[in-house]
Amino acid sequence: MEKGKITVFAGDGRGKTAAALGLALDAAADGRTAVIIQFLKGRGLAESIFCKRMEPDIKIFRFEKSEVDYDSRPPEQKQDDVSSIRNSLGFARKVLMTGECDILVLDEVLGVIDKGIISVEELHDLCKLRGDTQMVLTGRVLNGELCTFVDEISQISTVRFKKY
């Protein structure tokens, strides 16, 4: 385990969430625990019966109430979701401060920064609380300021995507 390491999966390609989930599965296979918090995704994974079966080794949370992704929501719902997103970051803070897990995945948190819901500084302050907890951050847009405090960045790009 890479204690306290911060890993980023960013880019416009497919597979960022899958890569983050793979690290969570690896942790669980080694007897460690993972907490995954999803942002901006609409339905997300939290409601899946399969995901519930992974508990208590892997716990998945989504605080937003909408079934559609953030960009498709009406403006008044986006405002409500901003409060939910901020609450979920408060939950992430609690998870880090209590040492509740070995790996914390903040799925699509880079999108939260890109949309101006939180700042890079707020995310940095959250990351400072990690102690030995490994963190994984995902999203499309990589803000250059992240490079000053993360350990590893994987840029994910799609070379070819063919819909069947």
Consecutive 10-residue averages of pLDDT for the chain (164 residues): 90 92 94 93 61 77 74 76 89 96 96 94 96 96 92 90 74
Q: Which DSSP state fits 156?
A: -
Which DSSP helix (H) or strand (E) runs through 18? helix 16-29
What value, to the nearest 5°, has the Cα angle with vertex 14 and ends 96 and 31? Answer: 40
pTM reported for the whole predicted model = 0.89
CATH, range 6-155: 3.40.50.300
pLDDT, residue 69, reads 72
What value, to the nearest 5°, has the Cα angle with vertex 124 and ends 44 and 42? Answer: 15
Is the distance from CB of 142 to CB of 8 less than 8 angstroms? Answer: yes
Domain boundaries, the chain: 6-155
